[in-house]
Amino acid sequence: MFPDPVHPYLLAADDVARRVVPSPLPVCNSDDVATCVRDNYRAPLERLYRRPLSEAELSALTDMVPRLEQSAVPALEATRALLSAALLSPDFLFRSSLAGADDVADARRLVETLSYALWDAPPDVELAAAAEGSAEALGERLRAQAARLSGDSRAVPVLTRFVAQWLHVDTDLRLVDPAYATSPRFQEFVAFVEDGLANDVPVRTLLTSERGFVHSDNVAAYGLADLPGTAGSGVSAVSWPSDSPRRGVLGQDLIADSTRHPDDSRRAIFRGLLVRRSLLCDVIPAPTAALVALAGEVGDRTVDARCAACHQRIDPIGRAFAVLDADSVAAPAPPEVIHHPELAGSYPDIPALLTAVAGSRAFAECFARHWLAFFLEAPLAEADATWVAALADSIESGVSLRGLVEQSIVSLKTRSETATPWCEGS
């Protein structure tokens, strides 16, 4: 039997209502409930709904109190029920508004999308004000706000989450452990993303940058004895040689460690998959249960006919990343890309491979697809092909992640002018 999916929300709403009524929000009773609700609850409810309340909505919530009092419910509990109802409303739980209601409602939906995409929070006063004014200038207002939000420190943890999700590291799950936020690997990774935002690093350079970050407690993972020119503890910027496998985001130890399987013979699989799936958006099917059961019988996965079709595409790439492991005993293997229309061939080392990948159309389109899925909170497979192509053009031209944000919100504004809301479709 499946649990009731609504019940946890009901319990949470009830708990919040009990915490804030009768203080700081007052009890309303039927003597003058309309005035009480308007004076004390309208502003908080509009903050919850992220938009003005209609008179009909306000009346429906207000009418709850006298109706419950008529059923012998005390005014305190009736007022709490009003707030609980608002917390259970789809208008609070889901970021939605009436599609096509008016220009301001459409603009409000756009600024809300931007705010949650970059700050994971409702719009601040300045961003909310961008929804007002002429519809003709809305695109420029959105572009300016995208630049402001992406340059704010509040964007760093959210865009760090995006980069991690793109590379298949679930930082949200790991951050459940309070100690993880201050762990050396995570602090290094945050510093890498923060630096990329602050310096408008081109998206392609995320894969090839010679500028990296190392925590003083994690120097051994990078094969360093210390951090020259620094004192104390914390994260420091380092400049990697042009032939270093530590160049770029895949060289950050958080990413290397996420694929550092306890069985070192399996690491090549996860690293090859990371390149093919996250950087190139190749479709590599998961093995069937029957193949997993036969894994002990397989010697060379790239030769065995049962496995070769997939493992020829991933293992020859993944093996090269063994140079990132302090415990690796295997000799470095030059990466080879097999069965790829744009990148097939052998590369002398990881930097050469990632330079080729970063300059490819496949990477530009793949990154654009991942970004749109994050920005729109939509499945990866549903990314619009023409939109992906436009963003990929910009990536090939050297756009930074901040520039991509600006382009995305302006494009969303333009597209929303011609899109037919699903609820109004044929």
Domain boundaries, position 266: 259-359
Residue 119 has pLDDT above 80, yes or no: yes
pLDDT of residue 231: 52
Residue 140 belongs to some domain of the structure = no
For 95-117, letters b (16+ CB in 10 Å) and e give: eebeeeeebbebbbbbbbbbbbb
Burial class, 393, CB count within 10 angstroms (exposed 0-12 / middle 13-18 / buried 19+):
middle
Peptide bond into 24 cis (omega under 30): yes
**C-beta neighbour count of 72 within 10 angstroms:** 6
pLDDT tens-digit readout, 349-369: 999 999 999 999 999 999 999
Pair of tokens at residue 245: 């496998």
Residue 315 lies in a domain: yes
Q: Which residue has the higher pLDDT, 6 or 13?
A: 13
Q: Within a domain: residue 304?
A: yes
Q: What is the pTM of this model?
A: 0.86
Q: What is the pLDDT of residue 134?
A: 87
pLDDT per position as a tens digit, 264-290: 888 999 999 999 999 999 998 888 787
As for how many domains the chain has, the answer is: 2
Q: What is the pLDDT of residues 220-235, one digit of tens each?
A: 999 888 876 655 568 9
Is the residue at 49 inside a domain?
A: yes
Q: Give the pLDDT mean for 257-265.
A: 89
Strands, E assignment, 146-247: 211-215, 235-239
Question: Does residue 2 have a pLDDT over 70?
Answer: no
Given 58, 93, 128, which residue is the final one in a domain?
93
For 27-84, what is each residue's pLDDT tens digit? 998 888 999 999 999 999 988 888 888 899 999 999 999 999 999 999 999 999 999 9
pLDDT of the residue at 5: 81
Residue 32 CA: distances (Å) to CA of 38, 73, 74, 75: 10, 17, 15, 12
Q: Tokens 């209502």 sit at which residue?
A: 17
Is 36 a domain residue? yes
Residue that terminates a domain, selected from 35, 68, 93: 93
Question: Does the residue 422 lie in any domain?
Answer: no
Give the per-residue pLDDT at 263. Answer: 84
**Residue in the structure block whose two tokens are 């997993």:** 292
pLDDT single digits (tens) 390-424: 999 999 999 999 999 999 999 999 988 776 444 44
Query: Which long-range contacts link 304-309 to residues 24+ away (Cβ below 8 Å)?
Result: none
| Last-in-domain residue among 324, 344, 359 | 359
Mean of the per-residue pLDDT values of the chain: 90
Of 320, 365, 319, 321, the closest CA to residue 342 belongs to: 365
Q: Does residue 424 form part of some domain?
A: no
Cβ neighbourhood burial of 9 (10 Å; 0-12, 13-18, 19+) = middle
For residue 355, tell me if it sits in a domain.
yes
